Structure 1
Amino acid sequence: MLHNYLTIALRNLRKHKTFSFINIMGLAIGIAVCLLILLWVVDELSYDRWNDKFDRTYRVAGEVKFGGLHSSFAVAPAPMAAALVADFPEIETAVRFRQQGSFLIKSKVQNFKEDRVIFADSTLFKVFSLKMLQGNPEHALNAPQTIIISKSMAEKYFPSENPLGKFLTLDNKTRYNVTGVFADMPTNSHFRMDFFCSMSTLEESRDQVWLSFNFHTYYILRKDANPAAFEAKLFPHLLKKYIDPQLTQMMGKTYAELEKGGTLVKFHLQPLGDIHLKSDMDVELAANGNIQYVWIFGMAALFVLLIAVVNFMNLSTARSTLRAREVGVRKVVGSQRSALVGQFLSESMVLTFFALFLALLLSWVALPFFAQIAGKKFLFPWTSPLFWLSVMGGGILVGLLSGSYPALFLSGFQPIRVLKGRFFDSGKGRNLRSGLIIFQFLIAIFLISASIVIRGQLSFIQNKQLGFSRDQVLVVNDAYALDKNLDAFKKNLKNLPFVQNATLSGFLPIESSRSNGSVCSTPSLQEETCQIMQQWEVDEDYVPTLGMEIVKGRNFSAEMPGDSSNVILNEKAAKGFFGQEDPLGKTLYFHGDVDAEGKLLNKMYTVIGVVKDFHYESLRQNIETLCLKLERSAGNISIKLSNTDLPAALSRIEGEWKKMAGGAPFSWQFMDERFDEMYRAELRVGRIFNIFTILSLLVACLGLLGLAAFTAERRTKEIGIRKVLGATTQSIIALLSKEIVRLILIAAAIAIPMAWWGAAQWLHNFAYRIPVPWWGFFLAGALAVAVALVTVTLQSMRSARMEPVKSLRSE
């Protein structure tokens, strides 16, 4: 019986080649898209699961509300880890990380810039399941100035050598003894490091200050512990034993008194599995993903697949009249309905598995392109039994889903009516096909609308006036490598004819280093008179080089040594401290370190200027308070270039660097490129949505093409008669097209409100955003109508141009 089913199925597929091609190609595209997106989704959901104690690993995160700033931090105080282990029996072990940016590293002569460097406690291997290839994981990070390196770095710095016992020099200053080599960290980790330096090297790791947040702190909860119960008692205990005494000593008030004024200091726990997709705090170890985009991509892929499935159902039910007599004859000679259902489902399964084979081929070919867009490395799990079980199971499910309604519909024909020629396409069947067309184009219009909104917001971001100039600004990294030649290098740069200006700082209005601190208008640390704000050390050329505007007062001057005790505020900070009063000449107190007795130290600064507010974070966030201080900070050199031959300018600057940097690598990037990196996720979403939109329209139009061909075939006699009576080609095309246009307009009427709501929700993620573009939704509907109309018209023209004699003879 099965053999007979398959034989007939293959025969029907060969007989109706156009029908078969449209269904196979539509399903193949839908399945290929799902496969690619599922690879991405599975990768996103797999982050950090390689750790043996994944389900018991947590990170301590801090939350602070003080002085007008409410922020969440992925870091905790230095003594947190020791207190967790000592005071809570629920804790098995803990580890801290301290990130200090990139380093110049060399083993012999040549320096290499390395970004994946971090300081870690010796308990690293007790928390994270890193595989040690050489060395003892128990003791590798015990001693100061020891370091363990990844396998890749061992091959880079010590080719054909045993790295154990060798030395690496960091920033041309400190030598670290290599005590271990570990396997490269998996790519699906929320942080990836190649160098772990011993935490005991850092003096600050022994600080006992509970109001400074600098250390990423992870711990393992014992198997029998209750996470919720532990979190409930964590902060009250820490507050009573550690935090309150320091607050009272520093500020003269208890936490309870400060809380009444709106101050908040709190710690909460993050499961390791939530960090990559659900955490977007300050001082993350790396850029995280977003669970919202996982849902968006997953739903978009499902929509494309559904459009393809709908195509199959639509075309199969539309062609029902061509197989009506076959069903009637089969029933007369004794065929049961179950056998007919089996026959039609067999045809559906054969078609689906042809599509599945093509989908695997398409997805394999498209994988490198998709990986480039997604910013990931993917490999097809060809050898995984689970993968093949999922693919085969998914194929069977799609085959059953797409073939179930046509099978039940076709097998339900009444044989007597069919054989007497009284069968006609029922209103129920036409309504179903109309509903399916509406569903297809509803999804297509929604995706087109989403693409327009995303593109509009990205264009807004890239063209918005940010309060500084990022064009033609070259950022040279690792200025500290110049050491004593730093000032001479900057002076030489400013003398170059194509350099308008140059500035030295560790802080840029793009993703770079950040430094928060307490600033008060009174000597004492009080919540009513203080603000937590960004404090950037810059030089006198910072403001003019980056094209910022001083709206009150003046800029720093190299000719005025007293400017080292002066500050420039942004408008937000000036208004926060002084309201409508003139801030110039006012005194501010910067609180920082504590003395030996635990008392807070402060330093006085005078306000000499106010800079116009500029965006120094992503446009997802509001502009917050900020001040500029005239201090030396050897982080980056930003060079404003004139419109010139950029390759020649870069070559000349690199030549100057090599003369003075002592073999340090020349690392650079244009500021506008680094600015765009802040929106990598949105750029990827935009590209992927564009692809989904094109594919959804392509699959939907394939279905329309098949339906148009079928409709024209069924109405061949009617078209011939109309042409004999004088109908023009244009009127015939309009006759065949108007029903499709009506259905797509209905789809647009449903899709536009849905798209409007979705756009508003997505744009809400940005503090600075475009208004919801109402015109974009109508443009999406018009585009869908135009594409569908072109598709139907191309098919209708063939029928409309057919000679009436041939049309009538065919009937």
Structure 2
Amino acid sequence: MFRSYLKIAIRNLIKNKVYSLINICGLAIGLTCFILISMYILDELSYDRFYPNAERIYRINSEIRFGDADLNMALSSDPMGAALKKDYPQVEQYTRLYTSEGAKQIKKGMTFVREDNICYADSTFFDVFRIPVIDGDLKTALNDPNSIAISEKSAIKYFKTTEAAGKTLEIGTDQKALYKVTAVYKDIPENAHFKLDFILPMSNLKYGFGNFLSHNFYTYIVLKEGVDYKVFNRKFDDIIAKYVLPQVTQFIKINTMDDFKKAGNKLEYSLIPLTDIHLRSDKADELRANGDIRYVYIFSIVAVFILLIACINFINLTTARSANRAKEVGIKKTLGSQRSSLVLQFIVESMFTSCLAFIIALFLVILLLPYFNDITTKSFTASSLFNSQYLPYLLIMPLIVGVIAGYYPAFFLSSFHPIKAIKGKLTGGYSKNNMRDILVTFQFVTSLILICGTIVIYQQLNYIHTKNLGFAKDQVLIVNSTSALKNNTNAFKNEISKIAGIKNASNAGYIPVEASARNGHVFSKEAVMDAKNGLLMQFWQIDYDYIPTFGMEIKKGRNFSRSFGAADSNRVIINESTAAILGYKDPIGKKIYSSSGTLGSSEVTAYEIVGVVKNFHYESLRHTVEPLCMILGNSNWELAFKIESKNVPSIINQIEDKWKKISPEIPFGYKFLDESFDQMYRSEQRVGKIALTFAVLTMFIACMGLFGLVTYISEQRTKEIGIRKVLGASIFNIVKLLSHDLLRLVLLSILIAFPLAYFFMHKWLQNFAYGVGISWWTFVCTGIGALLIAFSTVSYRGIRAALANPVKSLRSE
């Protein structure tokens, strides 16, 4: 039976080459898009799930508001984990990561290599994150202060073998230290929210431990089986009252946390599941750039819709050509075939077509993987398709698609009355069909929403790149790891300043892009801080040349000046946001106060405000500009140079030559500020590219369906067109006749799609504190473009039908 069904399917494919090609190509493109998006979605959803106890691991997040300034952090204080484990038996284990020291230089041969994926961790790290060991003992790997655990990749890089336990690494340039490798662990997979290649023991970190008010640690806890983390979150109120409040009262004049909250402030902690961090956390201090669950939802819908659009083409063409299969159905029913067997036959034909399309789709996926990896920043390979994660879905996909595409046509075709079918009294192939109209409309609604969304995304990206950010990001060169130059840092900066083409030079440990150094600090308007006069803000150390190097504008007062000498050491420059919160009509000459930050100390320092800098966006445009205060200091672990646009390679070469003369063993590294700026919006750029690609493909698939329908209509109405031409109908009249109903559906799609597109993109733009408005011309241009594309598709086939010789179509009458 199935053999005969396959023979009939093959004969029909060969007999109707044009429609078969449209069906197979449409399904192949739809399947290709679906497979690629599914790979992306499954990878996003798999983050951090490879740990055996992943479902019980949680990170502590902090939310602080003080003086109209907010800090939402992935960080918490260093004693928080230990306090939770001591007070609550629900906590099985905890561990902390400290990354604030940033990259380190590790000696390899005669030179040093900059390593970024390095951190300090508690000895319990491998109890929480159960990573397979290759060499050594993970249980005791971080017990010794001068021990170090390294990844498999790092062991091969530095020792050319994974059997590196017992060997030593020299780390640091100004304060060199030897560390004994105590364990080599398997490389942490790419689908993890952190990548660590070197783990140093927390006992080696020089830090003022015990301060509940200083938030610099990533703290993870493991809850025991059956503990609801949402219920456990309530325990933090007790922790705050027991441990945090006594330390808060040393700096702020309050009696209870209620006093603190009544003044509009906030101090809250909460747990986030490890498996939610990648997609549901958007803190500025994440260990790696995270994804976004909303994009997973969006792309899931897009993947399904693209596949449905391809299936709709199959349904529309099959039902439109129903008259061609009517006699076959009538004869089979007359000879005793049951409707169920006819339904099965047509579904088998559909599944056969789907399998052919699926084979083509696999080749297209393999061909497009490099491009797809580029726009998604993933690293999929052809072998990824056939691993255990994707293979089950691949095996059943063509069967499911075949059933979806063939279900309605199978029941539609098998429903014909045998007598009417044999006598040819069925309605013509493209008679009025409400289901087909709905499906065509659905195709174009989906395509138009994607196109409008793509335009808005690119408008927002253009807005980001053209908005006045309050600083000049172009032609600013950042030289990394300059603290490795030790006492020669200033000499190096002065030498570079003499190079032709260097306009300004500055210490730039703090730069106005995400993932740079940050330093939150609490100030007050009066010497005695209380819940109402306090202000939380960024506290940056800059030098005399920082503001001119980055092209910032002083709105009031002045910049720091060498002519004032030591007098400027206790003076500060604030931004406009700080000035607005302080509320002074003229803040110049006014003072702000800050404690030393040392527990048990009552020392308060007064800082005089000498300047107000125009607000500049030191975080992404997703956030408003928060309060900022700058003081003279030596943040010289990076240097910034404002350079001329001419001869940039030559200038970089000269800087590198100077570097090698001072520190030949340390590799020279640099980046441009505008490149770091672009990285902040990598997710939006990625979404824009993906949306553009699939918007074009959905429109192409929909137009393929239109082309197939108008081709079939013209074939069904060949004699009618011939008679109309003989009676004097023009080419325009013929094209209008063939395209009227289809273009009406496209126009209806426009009316439905645009309100939906506006709603969705308005919601998306709310992610940005500074967003572009949705322009009316976005919809006008999209609508006109869609109509032109649809009309071109329809009229091409219509004109060919209109130009045909009427004698050929009428000679058999």
TM tier, shorter chain? over 0.9
2:581 aligned with 1:576? yes
Asked if residue 565 in structure 1 is aligned to residue 570 in structure 2, the reply is: yes
Q: CA shift at 1:431, angstroms?
A: 2.2
Whichever residue aligns with residue 569 of structure 1, its letter is: I
Match of 2:482 among 469, 479, 492: 479
Check whether the contact 1:517–1:592 (CA below 8 A) recurs between aligned residues. no
Sequence identity percentage? 42
Secondary structure at 2:337 match in 1? coil
When residues 381 and 749 of structure 1 are mapped into structure 2, their CA distance, relative to the original with a 3 A threshold, is same
Query: Which digits, 9 at most, give the CA deviation of each residue in 1:663-697, with x for residues without a partner?
Result: 21111111111100000000000000010011101
- Deviation of residue 574 (structure 1)? 1.3
1:628 is aligned to 2:633: no
1:539 aligns with 2:543: yes
Instruction: Give the whole-Å Cα distance in 2 for the aligned partners of 1:215 and 1:49.
Output: 22
Q: How far off its partner does 1:600 sit?
A: 4.3
Cα distance in structure 1, aligned partners of 2:501 and 2:191? 44
Residues 168, 177 of structure 1: 8 Å contact kept: no
**CA displacement, residues 700-726 of structure 1 (integer Å, 9 cap, x when unaligned):** 111111111101101111111111112
1:311 to 302, 310, 313: 313
Asked if structure 2 preserves the Cα contact closer than 8 Å seen for 1:154 and 1:163, the reply is: no
Alignment partner of 1:216 is 2:218: yes
Structure 2 residue 51 is matched with structure 1 residue 48: no
Question: Could you tell me which residue of structure 1 aligns to residue 426 of structure 2?
Answer: 423
1:586 equivalent in alignment to 2:587: no
The amino acid of 1:249's aligned partner reads Q
2:678 to 670, 676, 679: 676
Q: Distance in 2 between matches of 1:417 and 1:44?
A: 54
Flag structure 2 segments of 5+ consecutive residues without an equivalent: none
Q: Report deviation, 1:262.
A: 2.3
Amino acid in the other structure paired with 1:641? I
Provide the C-alpha distance between the structure 2 equivalents of 1:246 and 1:385, rounded to a whole number of angstroms. 52
C-alpha contact 2:36 2:365 (8 A) present in aligned 1: yes
Deviation of the 1:763 alpha carbon: 0.5
1:523 and 1:589 in contact (8 A); partners too: yes
- Cα offset, 1:515, TM superposition: 0.9
C-alpha contact (below 8 Å) 1:68/1:531 kept by paired residues: yes
Name 2:150's counterpart in structure 1. Answer: 149
One-letter code aligned to 1:573: T
Q: Which amino acid aligns with 1:368?
A: P
Aligned pairs for 1:374-523 within 5 A: 374-379=376-381, 380-384=383-387, 387-425=390-428, 430-511=433-514, 512-523=516-527
Inter-CA distance 491–3: structure 2 relative to 1 (3 Å threshold): same
* Alpha-carbon shift at residue 238 of structure 1 (Å): 1.2
- For residues 273 and 204 of structure 2, what CA distance do their matches in structure 1 show? 29
Aligned partner of 2:663: which letter? A
Deviation at 1:643, TM superposition (A): 2.4
* Residue range with higher mean Cα deviation, 454-463 or 161-170: 161-170
Counterpart amino acid of residue 12 in structure 1: N
Asked if the contact 2:174–2:486 (Cα under 8 Å) also holds between the matched residues in 1, the reply is: no
Q: What is the Cα deviation at residue 388 of structure 1?
A: 3.5
Contact 1:518 1:592 survives alignment (8 Å): no
Query: What letter matches 1:167 in structure 2?
Result: L
Q: Are the aligned partners of 1:314 and 1:433 in contact in 2 as well (CA < 8 Å)?
A: yes
Flag structure 1 segments of 5+ consecutive residues without an equivalent.
none
- Taking a change above 3 Å as real, the CA distance of residues 231 and 69 of structure 1, as seen in their structure-2 partners, is same
Amino acid across the alignment from 2:743 = V
Q: Secondary structure at the match of 1:434?
A: helix
Higher mean Cα deviation, 634-643 or 287-296? 634-643
In 2: Cα distance, 1:146 partner to 1:168 partner = 11
1:40 is paired with a residue of what secondary structure? helix
Tell me the equivalent position of 2:75.
75
Structural RMSD (CA): 1.7
Q: How does 1:687-766 map to 2 (within 5 A)?
A: 687-766=689-768
- Per-residue CA shift, 1:101-133, capped at 9, x if unaligned? 111221442111111010000001100011222
Question: Is it true that 1:346 corresponds to 2:351 in the alignment?
Answer: no
Instruction: Give yes or no for contact 1:107–1:169 (8 Å, CA) kept in 2.
Output: no
SS of the aligned residue for 1:666 comes to coil
Partner residue in 1 for 2:612? 610
Matched position secondary structure for 1:794: helix
Contact 1:507 1:635 in 2 (8 A): no
CA contact (8 A) 2:323 2:429 kept: no
Q: Pick from 266, 271, 274: which aligns with 2:273?
A: 271
- SS of the residue corresponding to residue 111 of structure 2 reads coil
Structure 1: distance between partners of 2:144 and 2:606? 40
Give the SS at the match of 1:61: strand
Mean Cα displacement is larger for which, 743-752 or 525-534? 525-534
Mapped pair 1:550 → 2:554: yes
Q: What TM-score comes out, normalization by structure 1 length?
A: 0.97
Q: What's the offset of the Cα at 1:383? A: 4.4
Indicate whether 1:250 and 2:235 are aligned.
no
Find the aligned partners of 2:380 and 2:388 in 1 and give their Cα distance.
18
Aligned amino acid, residue 526 of structure 2: T
Return the offset for 1:501.
0.8
CA distance in 2, matches of 1:326, 1:639: 79
Taking a change above 3 Å as real, the CA distance of residues 318 and 603 of structure 1, as seen in their structure-2 partners, is same
- Report the 3-state secondary structure (helix = DSSP H, G, I; strand = E; otherwise coil) of the residue aligned with 1:280: coil
Q: Secondary structure, in 3 states, of the residue corresponding to 1:322?
A: helix
In terms of mean alpha carbon deviation, does 215-224 or 617-626 score higher? 215-224
Once the two structures are TM-superposed, the CA of residue 224 in structure 1 deviates from its matched residue by: 4.2
What is the deviation of 1:263? 2.5
- Name the stretch that deviates more: 185-194 or 341-350: 341-350
1:425 shift after superposition: 3.1
Aligned positions of 1:148-167 closer than 5 A = 148-159=149-160, 162=164, 164-167=166-169
| Letter matched to residue 307 of structure 2 | L
Answer yes or no: is the 8 Å Cα contact 1:482–1:662 preserved in 2: no
d(CA) in 2 for partners of 1:521 and 1:248? 17
Confirm or deny: 8 A CA contact 2:321 2:430 kept in the other structure: no
1:179-190 matched pairs, under 5 angstroms: 179-190=182-193
Q: Alpha-carbon deviation of 1:477?
A: 1.2
Q: Distance in 2 between matches of 1:145 and 1:810?
A: 97
- Match of residue 288, structure 2, among 255, 278, 286: 286
> Structure 1 residue 404: deviation in Å?
1.0
Structure 1 position 113 matched with structure 2 position 118: no
- Determine the C-alpha separation between the residues in 1 that align with 2:167 and 2:410: 73
**SS of 2:762 mapped into structure 1:** helix
Separation of aligned partners in 2, 1:479 and 1:546: 18
Read off the aligned partner of 1:447 and give its amino acid letter.
L
Number of residue pairs matched? 806
Q: Distance in 2 between matches of 1:661 and 1:296?
A: 50
- List per-residue Cα deviations over 1:583-634 (Å, max 9, x = no partner): 1111111234215xx1343322111111111111100111111111110111
Q: Is the alpha carbon distance of 1:466 and 1:195 closer, same or farther for their aligned partners in structure 2, counting shifts above 3 Å?
A: same
Read off the aligned partner of 1:469 and give its amino acid letter.
A
Contact 2:587 2:609 in 1 (8 A): yes
Distance 1:591 1:791 in 2: 72
